[in-house]
Structure 1
Amino acid sequence: MKSKIGLIFFYLFTSLSLYAPSAHDALHLLEGKKNLIHVAIIGAGPAGLSAAIPPTRSGYHTVIFEGLKPGGELMNAMVVENWPGVKKDSGAHTMNALEKQVKQFGAHFAPQEVRSVDFSQWPFVLTLSDGTSINALTVIAATGASQKKLGFEGEDTYFGKGIFTCGICDSSFAREKDIIIIGGNDIAIQRALQLASLARNITFIVPGPRMTAQKSMLRKLKGMKNIHYLYNKKIIGVKGEETKISHAEIFDCKTQKYSIIKTDSIFLSTGLTPNSELFKEHLPLDQHKCIKLREGRSQKTPIDGIMAAGCVSDPVYRQVAVVIGDGTKAGMDALTFLSLWGLDGVSQKAIHKDLYIPPASTSIQHIQTVSELNNATKRTQLPLLVEFYSPLCPSCRKMEAPLLALREKYKNLVKILKVKVDQDQQTTLIDKQNITIIPAFVLFNKGKEIKRLEGEATQETLSSFIDTAAKGRSKKRTTPLKNS
């Protein structure tokens, strides 16, 4: 009954322009609430990180939930050259610089995924992948967009086994292989630039009579002899063995004829779908499945205190400069809402003890040399799981939440360490372990490697890997590590 009365007050106060609610009103509604966040941002791409800057600079407790795609789609970009005032650079480096800036202002990053939301009450309730319930005073939806699936035969069967969407994450599946890239847009060009130095041959399957990418992007492919084009074609199916594809069935839209092309991998590059599934029961969506915003120049949704920014709310522009502007506006809209409720100064201190502070992945110990790894094995009787990762690797970033969960699950059974592979002083350790793909997970017992897992994995897969490997069911190497 109390929450219903509070909700009535909330909507009454925020809908009447002649009434300005006070900090006392807000603190009354927040009484007894735990895990509070002033500004909760769902999504850690350019829109989400930009949205964090205004509230963090103003001293508000801001948490960015990274979810399954830390850094967003921009992490996969080979080159970013439309970021105003910044020399062209890789998407990963660009996002890494923005993340450092946001952290300097005091933003918190949570690797957990937001699994469900409840916007029918205030504070708004977010439920995380680890079961934690969050009470958010404002929410900014910045979940971006994902690669569209095409619906051809075998697409779901071979997705992740020969059909991919990330040129960087899945580049190992293109090495010395004949691959297909579907599409002729800028995203397709990005995929080709990421893979051209690895693949034996790249064939563009273009549904229309010409490439639709910008001329500046097309010029980047000039002179690449391993790139080929098939126009007015579309894939209608793929065939192969249980874990890999062998060929694609092609339909010629002009001649109405069918053909078969041998291929080892297919990379999808045919447009984006907004990641709005989380909000579809709570916020209105347009015909593109983008979150609808109020009319005007803000990022406000029809619910006061809920904002949306970036590709999840914009079906038209989808350029990084626009996305950054949207994110900044959303952060400022959050400030306006909090200011309306008088949630600054004394009122911020009043709820300080009840704020949600996400677990820090940096609390997992890092090692740098073979000697440190040997010492770690000597100091513990437990099996040792070592992750080799890079903060610039999108797949590695996705592993942060699963590793934190596994650390808790196996805290008395397995010790977890991390090795950052792009630090010069760790080259010897990386070479000794023959690490060629990241993320890589290597399980040691008494100084000996007993099993490894390479590439992106789910928490369930990692848990199963630890369970089976710890029982010694599979041994890959039996020689002790050598000191360096």
Structure 2
Amino acid sequence: MENNVVYDVAIIGAGPAGMTAAVYACRAGLKALILEADAPGGKLVKTFAIENWPGTKSVNGADLAWSMYEQTTSFGPEFVFAEAADIVDEGKVKTVICKDGKRFQAYSVVIASGTVERLMHIPGEQEMIGKGISFCAVCDAGFYKDRDVIIVGGGNSALEEAIYLTRVVNKVTIVIRRDVFRADEVVQKKVLTNNKIEIIRNKLPQQVLIENDRVSGLTVKDAKSDALMQIHASGIFPYIGSDPVTGFAKKLGITDKDGYIIVDENMQTKVKGIYGAGDVCKKFLRQIVTAVNDGAIAVQVAGRYIEQFHD
């Protein structure tokens, strides 16, 4: 499918970075396109409570995502639900090719496609996704009402989702591969004082236990002794990190070995007119506030870049 419009900026991803880029683009009078493969908001829609968004003591992630979406669409960017498959750099014009065959042209591209949850890569995991393995506590907590569940991981996301799950489930077992958490101190304190949470340290997931085509638990190995133990539960929530969604940009040579977009302080990649923004970039801190910062910078710089095409 061909689209004869040439946009000033094509934004891939409608998370906080992408939607901020769209707001700034439209306010600057640029013709903007947003391509989103899933639900607007990115990981916001999977987060129960956000307590570090400036000016708001606490806000539900899905509510913040909807608020951002309403604000963004009010400025009038073209919003298309499609998944990017490739970007072709033709110099002045970039062509974004989608998996459904749609093609969009733009003078500049902001890649804000975010990350996806990392798998444990153990036997039984792949076939049990949706049958007891979940990556979204907010989405799926209701399926485990008054049951036992396991969370794998020791970072902020893992601990925050564990706290949320205790509102619904009978017990949460947190499995971490080390003896210390990576999460912020304030989150750790909430976990350590919650009597519905048990912490199992120095353990590595080995195999998903299955019974009647549903998750029934997890086999873990002691990191020091190699001894195996079984933890029985109805659900497993892996929170062990994320990988960038950048397969469509691979040919451009703008990523590091892990797939993260390499940008300078202006969010510019080594390809003129192509920018990165948000969690998809190689960076130290991945937060909502850093994502919106990136989106604003990327599109402001892009706006200056495309001035040469409007003389």
Taking structure 2 as the reference length, the TM-score comes to 0.93
297-306 or 219-228, which deviates more:
219-228
Match of 1:236 among 197, 200, 206: 206
Equivalents in 2 of 1:65, 1:228: separation in Å? Answer: 41
Hey, what does 1:320 align to over in structure 2?
A: 288
Q: Distance in 1 between matches of 2:123 and 2:261?
A: 31
Amino acid at match of 1:123: V
How much has 1:247 moved relative to structure 2?
2.3
**1:304 is aligned to 2:272:** yes
Q: 1:278 to 1:93 in 2, by over 3 A?
A: same
Match of residue 92 from structure 1: 62
Question: Alignment partner of 1:192: what SS?
Answer: helix
SS at match of 2:95: strand
2:101 pairs with 1:131? yes
Deviates more, 1:55-64 or 1:233-242: 233-242
Give yes or no for the alignment of 1:254 onto 2:255.
no
Cα pair 1:155 1:238 within 8 Å, conserved: yes
Give the match for residue 172 of structure 1.
142
How far 1:222 sits from its partner (Å)? Answer: 5.5
Shift of 1:183: 0.7
> Which is greater in Rg?
1
Residues in 2 aligned to 1:340 and 1:54: alpha-carbon distance in whole angstroms: 19
2:163 — aligned with what? 193
Indicate if the aligned counterparts of 1:115 and 1:278 stay in contact, CA closer than 8 A.
Answer: yes
Match 2:86 to one of 83, 108, 116: 116
Gaps of 5+ in 2: none
- Once the 2 structures are TM-superposed, how far is the Cα of residue 114 of structure 1 from its aligned partner? 2.0
Q: Which of 175, 180, 198 does residue 210 from structure 1 map onto? A: 180
Match for residue 111 of structure 2?
141
Question: Which residue is equivalent to 1:46?
Answer: 16
**Structure 1 runs, 4 residues or longer, greater than 6 Å off:** none
More strand by share: 2
Contact 1:283 1:292 survives alignment (8 Å):
no
Aligned pairs (5 A) from 1:341-420: 341-342=309-310
**Whole-angstrom CA distance in 2 between matches of 1:194 and 1:152:** 26
* Percentage identity across paired residues of the two chains: 28
Aligned positions of 1:97-108 closer than 5 A? 97-108=67-78
Query: C-alpha distance in 2, partners of 1:202/1:333?
Result: 46
Secondary structure in structure 2 of the residue aligned to 1:225: coil
Which residue matches 1:280? 250
Q: Deviations over 1:230-273 (max 9, x none)?
A: 01111111121463111211101133211111111100111121
CA distance in 2, matches of 1:131, 1:280: 18
Name which structure has the greater RCO, CA cutoff 8 Å, separation 6+: 2
**Relative to structure 1, is the Cα distance of residues 258 and 102 closer, same or farther in structure 2, using a 3 angstrom cutoff?**
same
Distance 2:76 2:246 in 1: 28
Distance in 1 between residues matched to 2:31 and 2:132, nearest whole Å: 43
- Whole-Å Cα distance in 2 between the matches of residues 101 and 318 of structure 1? 23
8 Å CA contact retained: 1:178, 1:201: yes
- Displacement of 1:154: 1.6
How high is the TM-score relative to the length of structure 1?
Answer: 0.61
Aligned counterparts of 1:242 and 1:34: Cα–Cα separation in 2: 53
Say yes or no: does 1:329 pair with 2:297: yes
Which of 73, 77, 81 is the aligned partner of 2:51? Answer: 81
Structure 1, unaligned runs of 5 or more: 1-31, 344-484
3-state DSSP class of the match of 1:153?
coil
- Any idea what the Cα deviations from partners look like across 1:403-436, whole Å, max 9, x if unmatched? xxxxxxxxxxxxxxxxxxxxxxxxxxxxxxxxxx
How many aligned positions are there? 310
Shift of 1:180: 0.3
The root-mean-square deviation of aligned C-alpha atoms, in Å, is 1.9
Matched letter for residue 67 of structure 2: A
Question: Aligned equivalents of 2:95 and 2:214: distance in 1?
Answer: 42
SS at 2:109 equivalent:
strand
Distance (Å, rounded) in 2 between the aligned partners of 1:314 and 1:182 = 24
CA spacing shift, 1:261–1:222, aligned 2, 3 Å: closer
Give the letter aligned to residue 130 of structure 2. G
Kindly state the Cα deviation for residue 219 of structure 1 after the two structures are TM-superposed: 3.2
**CA deviation digits over 1:49-99, x for unaligned, max 9?**
111122100221112112124211122112212222333211111222222
Distance 1:222 1:209 in 2: 13
